Structure 1
Amino acid sequence: MSKKHPKMVVPAERNKVPKSSTSDAPPATVRKGLESLFASVTEPGDTFIFRIFIAMLLFADVILSKILIDVIPYTEIDFSTYMQQVECFLNGERNYTRIEGDTGPVVYPAGHIWFYSLMHHLTEKGKLIVDGQHIFLIIYILNQLIVFETFRVSNRASPFTIVFMTCLSYRLHSIFMLRLFNDCVAMLFCNIAIYLMVIGGRRWKLYLAAIFYSLGVGVKMNVLLFAPAIALLVFIQHGFVTLMISGILAGTVQLILGFPFLTTYPIDYLTSAFNFGRVFLYKWTVNWKCVPEDLFLDRKFHLSLLALHLFVLLFFATFVWFRKYGGLFHLLFQSKNVQIAKQDILMILYSCNFIGVAFSRSLHYQFYSWYYHGIHFLILTGKTSIESSSKTLDLLGFILRPVFCFALECCWNTYPATDFSSKLLHFVHFVVLISLLFPAKQPKVKKS
């Protein structure tokens, strides 16, 4: 009987690795790498990636802004009037009703006069327009840096958000570098104050925020639209004493800025610089070309908008902003201070300002700078509970958010404004307002 020899094993077969383990590994690794990269760009959380994006964007923005200044002609609107007003002041005039230019008397607080006095000196009485544009380029880049760093600290915005904002901001570039409006300066001070409030920490940061906020108000009063949210946040997080000290600091800044006018013609200064009853021209309105001019100028219409503004503001303060902290009344009447999350602070501040803009009795083109970053932040980062209910709706929301941003930009770049552009602007505002009422569910903070 013949012996059965064991089958020889070929070395190649012995060392053979299953096909699937080698062929699938590289694609899986690549896929995971791409997913990780996509997540780092479209989701908040990676500080290193975010700061790289900020640095690259600002560098590119400086170059593009320089090209913009060199290629697109400067448009004279108010800058020459600012210079004429400053000359009246520098020549010794202290009666605010007599400080005027081609477009009329000065209607801004004293911070406006002080800043444009500096511009008057740096641009040889306003003759060196290009130098002035480069100064506003610096202001623009500083403003962008502060806002983007605030977004990073809030841990709510992604690098995609700041890329999208920068690429979409032709009108914002125009307001800063082709028009030299005082809105730009006011918003720089305001955004510094917002950043200091968001990073929190020691009380001196809050007091410094009060000073910068008051400097913003001292240049233009639109910054007051943030005031209700600021007051509530300071009181809830730090108490009544801190709120009072902050208020005293802010008031002191106003006294210092207005000192030359308050000590000579105080009534004229206060009634001119802080005039809440100014009448705007229908020609320049961006948001109300959808109504007849006689209605636009009607005082009853103005009072109706003010009433709506106050009602919506009160509703948000009571039922929306502090919902996950137990509600406004719980926070107001408890003995302990509560720390509000950084992303919630930013959302509350931006939505407070947005509500004021949405119910404004007139918006001019430069007013876009009042809420440009805020409304894009609310649109691009404010996921609703409806979107969170399914992946399909989440994807749809991801697609629609940039669409609403484009629609907003179209409204502000339509000149002159039309019936359709005004209606579209109100529609976008309405959608943003409604979306703020239904945020994605977040874990509630335990009541103390």
Structure 2
Amino acid sequence: MKQKRLGFLLVVMLGAMLVLGACSSGGSSGGSADEDTITVWTMTPELEDFVKEYEDESGVKVEVQAIPWDNAHDKLLTAVASGKGPDVLQIGTTWVAEFAEAGTFLDLSDYIDEYPNFNPDNFYESAVETTKYDGQTIGIPWYVDTRVLYYRTDLLEEVGYPEGPETWDDVKDAATQLAARGDDQYGIEIPQVDQNFPFMLAWEQGWQYEEGEGAANFEKPGFKEGVELHHTFFEEGMAQLTEGKQLYQAFSDGSKPMFFSGPWEINSINEQIPELEGQWDVHVMPEAENNNSMIGGAHWTVFNNTDKVDQALDFINWMADPETQVAWYDTVTELPANMEAWEDPKLAEDEKISTFGEQLESTQAVPVIPEFETMAQELIDTLEQINRNDADIDEALEEYRNQVSSILSK
């Protein structure tokens, strides 16, 4: 926890260096000196070939540098420290607050009306929320991500849910019956290290995080109800606490006939366990007070020190166009952030993908604050104490609130 917080403080200090460097150097960037060339950093290597159409249309050359996700954070820190970065950069939604706090991005607020594809109404509301920080708009949504329930239709039919469970009570009922089949049989796989999942459970119990309330947010009944729901699956043997089989093997042999995941699993299941064709499907998240899932994905942002603002914004406007986003979906199956793109038959007529589109209408953003990832990891540790070490839930949550208070006070 201390290392993560020190990392955040480092970003803030590096941000100050960026501002000073911009004042003394005229704001030069590390992008190409050629006015007809922009430099783009991304974590998706397929972009290099994809942008050739834009180059042909615009006459602007796009130098794409693909950075592995594992290296991206450190590379961005270096760019912030030196003031030498790209003209355009991809940023994951959970990194927005940390790097915005450091002054990494150009505020796009004054440019929204100049570019038709920047209109916030084009995008899912929760995706737009993750582009906002401290009154600024730091990016434009590129692609989105969320979670739904994957389930074995044949096995769920046997316990009375052929179309999948609608509510969390349905999930518990189905999982209880499925876990009763015998040794090493479970009803569901519950994520134990996904930082977003516990917050999803709390949202679905009606919990909301209010930034000004700090640690008091975690005294609200809905948050405890989400923690209790998470624990119930392990306490009652519906989910496996230990690692167990590889997930695709467990899904294939039916020992774990339900799990939660994102859209990439559709192709993975089709490719890795093709024998399951016709025996599985996806369903929107189970409902309690609501069925809100997380919103993830990535945005396009402009590096604060670039001297090619117009070129950078024109490129982002092209990437945000619904036709471009459908073409990008065709390339890497990442879900469009632009809602108009979902009218294309490639998405609208694919039953599994359209379920993700339905779920995207019921999503929430995690708190856009620099401390979120540290708070979320602390919650994962708290759940481990509850699920593995039988810690009392009330006592564990009291300790969690103390940890959150400490995190937010630094």
Same fold (TM over 0.5): no
TM-score of Structure 1 vs Structure 2, range by shorter chain: under 0.3
State the TM-score, normalized to the length of structure 1.
0.24
Q: Which has the higher contact order (CA 8 A, sep 6+)?
A: 2
Q: Please state which structure has a larger fraction of its residues in strand.
A: 2
Q: Which has the larger radius of gyration?
A: 1
State the TM-score, normalized to the length of structure 2.
0.26
